[in-house]
Each structure stands twice: as C-alpha cells, then as structure tokens.
Structure 1
Amino acid sequence: MTQISVERKHSLGRDAARQKAEALVDKLAREYDLKASWHGDRVEVKRSGANGSVLIGEDSIKVELKLGMMLSMMSGTIKSEIERALDKALA
C-alpha cells in the first residue's frame, strides 16, 4: 500500500478554505468516482483501491491518501494531480 501526503498552507481562513475544499472534493468525486463523507472540517474519501481524508485547518489543507496495489503504480501521477488541484483551488 502506498501513502500520499500533501499539505498546502493558505491564508483564507477555515470557512473560505472549506468552501473551496467542498467544491474541489465534489469535482474529484465526479471525475474519479469517489465517495465523500464530511465530518466537520474533515472529509473521508473512498473508492475501489484508494481511501483517505482531507483535513481543513485555519491555515492549511492536508490530503492523505492510501493507494492499493493497482493504483500505487500511478502514485506519482496521482500526487501531482492532487498538488495541482490544491494549488488551483487555493489560488
């Protein structure tokens, strides 16, 4: 199992960051067939071969994802996509 961890700092405040994270999670859920379950400022994401979470903080957003064997071969691409999507969402 491969672990991906990406953290980005922001100066948006928790509420604005959560709004941006909600839009990003909705988009990714549609594109990658993810199931998302919100628990306060944390969202659990899950699909076949992957599961993880997004934690929205006052000054950062942290994404942690565990990939199964099949998706672990694409871990570099997946991490790059997460970084790009976070950077775009927080810009």
Structure 2
Amino acid sequence: MADISIKQEHQLPLQQAKDAAQKVADKMASEFEMTTQWDGDVLSFKRSGVAGTLALRDKEAQIDITLDFLFKAFASTLEEKVARNMRKFFAEAA
C-alpha cells in the first residue's frame, strides 16, 4: 500500500499527459536523485528508501509512492511537493 497517493485530473491528450508526467519525474529526479523508467503509460521511479509509479489514465494521472521507515517522517513534506508539481506541470501542459 502506498504511503502517498495523489490523483491529478487533466484534460490532456495522452502524449501531452506523458510530457507533463515526464516533467514531474524530471523534477523529482533532480530534487531527490531518483531514476525513472517508462513502461507503457506507467512511469516508475525509485531511489534508496523511495519507490513509486505515476500512471496515466484517461483524464487522470495517479502517483503512488512507497516510503521506507526513515522517509515516512517526511511523508507530508514530500506529498506537498509532489502535489504542487503535479498541479503545476499538468496545468502548464494544458
């Protein structure tokens, strides 16, 4: 079960949604030193202590993040940053 789960509605065609998701991933990768990889419409990301997916669906993107014990203390801060990036990049792409 994910420690952080955020749904972001959007009105973007799939390619624009993928571009927005990639921007979210790039931001997370630079801030948190994560690696990312696409598998169809699902972007997986990970680093030591943090792993998750950003799944694109029709009119919705959902990010699920699992944190290890040490990162759970920062869950609310991480959730706030990720939610802000999701809103920003999916709105910019529209």
The bucket for the TM-score relative to the shorter chain is over 0.9
> How far apart, CA to CA, are the structure 2 residues paired with 1:10 and 1:30?
24
Q: Which runs of 5+ in 2 are unaligned?
A: none
Q: Which runs of 5+ in 1 are unaligned?
A: none
Q: Residues 43 and 54 of structure 1 are in contact (CA less than 8 Å); yes or no, is this contact kept in structure 2?
A: yes
Residue 16 of structure 2 corresponds to which residue in structure 1? Answer: 16
- After superposition, what is the alpha-carbon deviation per residue over 1:31-60, rounded to whole angstroms, capped at 9, x for unaligned? 210011110110111011111100011200
User: What TM-score do the two structures reach when normalised by structure 2?
Assistant: 0.90
User: What TM-score do the two structures reach when normalised by structure 1?
Assistant: 0.92
Which runs of structure 1 show a deviation greater than 4 angstroms over 4 or more consecutive aligned residues? none
Identity %: 26
> How far apart, CA to CA, are the structure 1 residues paired with 2:81 and 2:38?
22
Q: Residues 52 and 63 of structure 2 are in contact (CA less than 8 Å); yes or no, is this contact kept in structure 1?
A: yes
Paired residue secondary structure (2:17): helix
Residue 29 of structure 1 corresponds to which residue in structure 2? Answer: 29
RMSD: 1.4
State the Cα distance separating 1:5 from its structure 2 match. Answer: 0.4
> How far apart, CA to CA, are the structure 2 residues paired with 1:24 and 1:8?
12
